[in-house]
Amino acid sequence: MKPNYNYKNVAETYLFSNIAKKVNAYLAENPEKSVLRLGIGDVTLPLAPAVIEAMHEAVDEMGKKETFKGYGPEQGYAFLRESIQAYYARRGVTLSTDEIFVSDGAKSDCGNILDLFGTENSVLVPDPVYPVYVDTNVMAGRKISYMQATKENGFLPMPDEALKADIIYLCSPNNPTGAAYSKAQLKEWVDFAIANNAVILYDAAYECFVTDDAARSIFEVEGARKCAIELCSFSKTAGFTGTRCGYTVVPEELVFDGMSLRKMWLRRQTTKFNGVSYIVQKGAAAVFTEAGEKQIQDNLAYYRENAKLIAACMDECGIAYTGGKNSPYIWLQCPSGMTSWEFFDYLLKEIQVVGTPGSGFGRNGEGFFRLTAFGSRETTIEACKRMKALLKK
């Protein structure tokens, strides 16, 4: 048997394990210090009461013969797909429930969707980048080009005739930079993709953080149904990082060489997947009830307030950043010309604040640093206090 040799080319990043090692080493030497973690992109607020109630009911259903559920539809129960359809409709986007596929999370879909594409296709990803876009394509042996997301373009690279590819990744609001495309900017990408017979893989995992008129779905943009697949998730919207549910939209119009990507994805999912737990789907559907939606918005408001506090802290310190407004991420330029890891060490040693070195997300991340709004209010306030004391000029 010949293994998939492409795996040899997958880079080991060790980003989060290196962070953990450094923090542990510091704490071993300074056991009396309190470390404030604003690094990892994981939520901290518990699930909303409406979700908890729905899941308890679903668990009870699974325990009784009359209401027990066996195999469900691989693409998700109609009740959840209809709720998602209505969620899009409220933003003026019309989808058929056949175009909505429920999964165990956007990360799974992000990897698995590549099954639909030939390995000879070229791929365009932004730098800095969510590493999954790169690693999943390296595993399949695809050629990857990078588009430059820099301070100069507000970390929002635009189409470039010199950088064509068959598969284009866009993530907005962006992980890690927090920058969000406007609809006008996305329209340029859609036109570019159609002109070049390319597919856009649009990662909308952070759409719920958009508060201004930035795009929340690429399908708000005319023509997107002809070129885009959208990946979305309950992880950040409703705190489902450990509960696991997401969804992917594959429009009917996506037909390449006579092959419907929607039909192919249905075939992929019915062959290699058996649907999401009924209990989890019931919980996800509760996110869209009146009570659920209010509770979710309260949680999002809590994180947004954290983001605002960190952004205000950066303003006060005179540190340039993106994000913090349409995003739980604050992507800041390390002061005094420090590298990402130098700044990491500096914050850890001086004020015991832990963030994520930007260089872990790509070459253009060097000299930048990511803080997240997913901590508790107390942690966020204390971290800002310490950062102001250290960094304010």
Residues 70-109 binding a second copy (CB under 8 A) are 70-72, 104-105, 107-108
CA distances from 336 to 114, 134, 392 (A): 41, 31, 12
Binding mask 211-250 for a second copy (x = CB under 8 A): ----------------------------x-xxxx------
Name the DSSP class of 160.
-
Residue from 110, 149, 186, 238 touching a second copy (CB under 8 A): that is 110
Q: Which of residues 175-194 bind a second copy (CB under 8 A)?
A: none
Complex with a second copy: residue 274 or 297, whichever CB lies closer? 274
Two tokens, residue 204: 């909308």
Residue 12 DSSP code: P
Residues 8-27 contacting a second copy, CB under 8 A: 8, 10
Least separation in angstroms between CB 367 and a second copy = 27
How far apart CA 303 and CA 373 sit, in angstroms, is 5
Shortest distance (Å) from residue 251 CB to a second copy: 14
2 binds a second copy (CB under 8 A): yes
Q: What burial letters (b/e) apply to 200-232, b meaning 16+ CB within 10 Å?
A: bbbbbbbbbbbeeebbbbbbbbebbbebbbbbb
Residue 151 or 267: the one with the smaller Cβ distance to a second copy is 267
Region near a second copy per CB under 8 A, out of 3-11, 80-88, 145-153, 328-336: 3-11
Q: For residue 74, what are the contacts with CB-CB under 8 A and spacing of at least 6? A: 266, 269, 270, 273, 274, 275
In whole angstroms, the minimum distance from the beta carbon of 333 to a second copy comes to 28
Select 257 or 290, whichever has its Cβ closest to a second copy.
257
Dist CA 239 CA 55 (whole Å): 14
Q: Hey, what amino acid is at 172? A: S
Q: Which is nearer to a second copy, 123 or 317 (CB)?
A: 123
Residue closer to a second copy (CB basis): 83 or 277: 277
Which residue's CB is nearer to a second copy, number 65 or number 393? 65
Q: Which residue's CB is nearer to a second copy, number 241 or number 339?
A: 241
Q: Is 378 exposed, middle or buried (0-12, 13-18, 19+ CB in 10 A)?
A: exposed
Site for a second copy in 133-172 (CB under 8 A): 135-136, 139, 166-167
Beta carbon nearer to a second copy, 180 or 280 = 280
3-state secondary structure of 252: coil
User: What sign does the dihedral 196-178-319-390 (CA atoms) show?
Assistant: negative
Rounded to an integer, what distance in angstroms lies between the CA atom of residue 310 and that of residue 314?
6
Part of the chain binding a second copy (CB under 8 A), chosen from 129-137, 144-152, 184-192, 363-371: 129-137
The CB-of-346 to a second copy minimum distance in angstroms stands at 27
Q: Which of 100, 116, 210, 347 binds a second copy (CB under 8 A)?
A: 116
Rank residues 32 and 257 by Cβ distance to a second copy and give the closer one: 257
For the CB of residue 337, give the shortest distance to a second copy in the complex, in Å. 34
Is 264 a residue that touches a second copy (CB under 8 A)? yes
| C-beta separation of 11 from 135 below 8 A | yes
- In terms of phi and psi (left: phi > 0; alpha: psi -120 to 50; beta: otherwise), the region of 378 is alpha
Window 280 to 299, contacts with a second copy (CB under 8 A): 280
Selected range binding a second copy among 212-220, 278-286, 324-332, 377-385, rule: CB under 8 A: 278-286
Question: What gap in Å lies between CA 105 and CA 217, rounded to an integer?
Answer: 17
Query: Which of these segments, 204-212, 275-283, 308-316, 353-361, binds a second copy (CB under 8 A)?
Result: 275-283
Residue 263 tokens, joined: 């039909």
The owner of tokens 């930035």 is: 214
Number of residues that bind a second copy (CB under 8 A): 74
Q: What residues numbered 310-369 form the site for a second copy, per CB under 8 A?
A: none
Q: Per CB under 8 A, which of residues 35..74 are in contact with a second copy? A: 40, 42-47, 49, 52, 55-56, 59-60, 62-65, 68-72
When asked if residue 381 is in the footprint of a second copy (CB under 8 A), the reply is no
Residue written as tokens 């470039």? 160
Check if the beta carbon of residue 163 is closer than 8 Å to that of residue 145: yes
Structure tokens at 381: 């306030």
- What distance in Å separates the CA atoms of residue 391 and residue 38, rounded to the nearest whole number? 17
